């Protein structure tokens, strides 16, 4: 993601009256900072906050019923993730998102999870496949996006745990999903990719073929990245406004 031109600050309808007019979801189980971070990413995803626009921090705080402190925490985290640029004494501005950034995100996921499954197979052998197979069978039969998301999380978590790599777990914790909300509900075609991909991974693991399992993980996540790019392009998230670029300093 790169810095993009700045335009006028958006008007968040109903922000002074709570969450009216703003897209959102059940955030009650998250910390205040996590709520704000997910909420802002959703505003960008839904087109309420566009590229180059200033993030209206007070309106966001009122919409979620939080103070400015978790909003600032969320903005710092979002800047690290590349979603925004913070300019001293000027505010926080939404960065441009391009297809290459999205592809890179999923390529990195593929590298991390590919490494995880390779290590897991090296350490646990084909026995890991017997543990994964019943879970993958449930995943393949799931039709509800919520159930599929839960089963998918359990599948990938089992592999990461089997890799027995604290460094890998810490690296994955630092990565956040690029699609806010339920991935399997929002991204067309991704359910089929997940089901085919996890089935191929299990087949390779049951053969104790660590390299094949790694390749299948990379291929699955690369395909998911392609679908996310299609979704973002269709939503106009890669468009750049014709406006003067935001200055790098006040």
pLDDT for position 239? 63
> Of the candidates 89, 100, 74, 98, which has an alpha carbon nearest to the alpha carbon of residue 3?
98
Q: What is the pTM of this model?
A: 0.78
How much is the average pLDDT of 62-88?
92
How much is the average pLDDT of 192-212?
98
| pLDDT category of residue 144 using cuts at 50, 70 and 90 | very high
| pLDDT category of residue 121 using cuts at 50, 70 and 90 | very high
Q: Is the pLDDT assigned to residue 235 strictly greater than 90?
A: no
Higher pLDDT, 82 or 140: 140
| pLDDT category of residue 71 using cuts at 50, 70 and 90 | very high
> Of the candidates 92, 59, 54, which has an alpha carbon nearest to the alpha carbon of residue 73?
92
How much is the average pLDDT of 44-50?
88
35 burial type by CB count under 10 A (0-12 exposed, 13-18 middle, 19+ buried): buried
Q: How many Å is the maximal CA-CA distance in the chain?
A: 59
What is the dihedral sign for C-alpha 139, 143, 145, 147?
negative
């Amino acid at each position: 993601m790169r810095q993009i031109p700045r335009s006028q600050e958006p008007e968040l309808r109903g922000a002074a009256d709570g969450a009216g007019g703003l897209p959102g979801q059940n955030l009650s189980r998250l910390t205040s900072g996590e709520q704000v971070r997910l909420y802002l990413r959703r505003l960008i995803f839904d087109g309420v906050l566009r590229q180059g626009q200033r993030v209206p921090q007070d309106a966001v705080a009122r919409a979620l019923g939080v103070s400015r402190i978790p909003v600032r925490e969320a903005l710092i985290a979002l800047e690290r993730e590349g979603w925004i640029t913070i300019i001293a004494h000027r505010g926080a501005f939404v960065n441009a998102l391009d297809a290459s950034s999205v592809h890179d995100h999923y390529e990195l996921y593929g590298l991390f999870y590919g490494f995880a499954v390779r290590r897991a197979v090296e350490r646990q052998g084909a026995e890991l496949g017997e543990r994964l197979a019943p879970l993958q069978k449930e995943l393949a039969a799931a039709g509800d996006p919520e159930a599929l998301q839960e089963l998918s999380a359990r599948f990938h978590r089992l592999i990461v745990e089997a890799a027995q790599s604290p460094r890998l777990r810490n690296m994955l914790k630092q990565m956040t999903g690029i699609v806010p909300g339920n991935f399997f509900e929002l991204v067309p075609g991704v359910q089929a990719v997940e089901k085919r991909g996890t089935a191929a991974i299990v087949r390779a693991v049951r053969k104790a073929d660590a390299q094949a399992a790694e390749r299948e993980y990379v291929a699955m996540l690369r395909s998911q990245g392609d679908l996310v790019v299609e979704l973002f392009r269709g939503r106009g998230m890669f468009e750049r406004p014709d406006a003067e670029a935001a200055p790098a300093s006040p």
